[in-house]
Amino acid sequence: MSINENMREQFKNPQGLAGKIATTILNKQNERPYQGAIKSLALQDNEVVAEIGFGNGYLLERLAHDYHCLFYGIDISADMVELANERNDTFIKEQRMFLKVGDALKTGYENDFFNKVFTINTVYFWDDLELGLQEMYRILKTNGIFVNGVYTKEFLDTLPVANEGYIKYSLEVLKAVGLKVGFREVIINEVIKDKAYSIVYQK
């Protein structure tokens, strides 16, 4: 397997030591998208919040330090759930954070449960964008928001690691599918011009 194929697998479904290293690299590379998501989320204490595809749980840890919310999350990789649980051990013991293995398309959460749901750089790996956005809509309370942090198709096209295995969407498609599944408004916030955006879907 080439280095690019290996990295791609680790970004899509991180496993073991290589997954730990890959997600630590992502923490550094994704600082601006994280900041974009934090701004779009505008969390307030006591909200019920979920992250989809949290990787090593770095951003959840930051948020849980700063906001007294209830945090939930799923990731498709059991190794990442273990890593994120270790990292967030204190919050988990305090019963402020609940993490489990799960798929964005079928989260297992109740209807109308969250004030806010977010994901950073995972939609490229979802099996079906429309089903995934439908699921985000289902688990949000009325007036809740889903924040989707993405790199643009044009930027991903410049990365050798993303030349296979990534489903790259235009911002227009990400917006149109959100409206199609029922979100009443979709706002595209620029994080880094032409490169990174934080899309806010309003239920």
Ligand X SMILES: C[S@@+](CC[C@H](N)C(=O)[O-])C[C@H]1O[C@@H](n2cnc3c(N)ncnc32)[C@H](O)[C@@H]1O
Please provide the distance, in angstroms rounded to a whole number, between the alpha carbons at the two ends of the chain.
42
Q: Identify the residue among 7, 8, 26, 166 touching ligand X (CB under 6 A).
A: 26
Q: In the bound complex, what is the minimum distance in angstroms from residue 94's beta carbon to ligand X?
A: 23
How is residue 61 written in tokens?
């840890």
Q: In the bound complex, what is the minimum distance in angstroms from residue 125's beta carbon to ligand X?
A: 4
Q: In the bound complex, what is the minimum distance in angstroms from residue 103's beta carbon to ligand X?
A: 4
CA gap 35, 52 in Å, rounded: 17
CB closer to ligand X, 49 vs 104: 104
Q: Identify the residue among 7, 41, 52, 60 touching ligand X (CB under 6 A).
A: 52
Contacts of residue 192, Cβ cutoff 8 Å, sequence gap at least 6: 32
C-beta of residue 102 within 8 angstroms of C-beta of residue 130 = no
CB closer to ligand X, 11 vs 72: 11
Asked if residue 178 binds ligand X (CB under 6 A), the reply is no
Q: Write each residue from 125 to 164 as x if it is in contact with ligand X (CB under 6 A), else as -, in one continuous string.
A: xx--------------------------------------
CA angle in degrees (0–180, nearest 5) for 167-171-173: 70
Residue tagged 């050798």 (tokens)? 160
Residues 55-114 close enough to bind ligand X by CB under 6 A = 55, 74-77, 80, 103-104
Burial of 155 (0-12, 13-18, 19+ CB in 10 A): middle
Binding residues (CB under 6 A) for ligand X: these are 11-14, 23, 26-27, 30, 52-55, 74-77, 80, 103-104, 120-122, 125-126
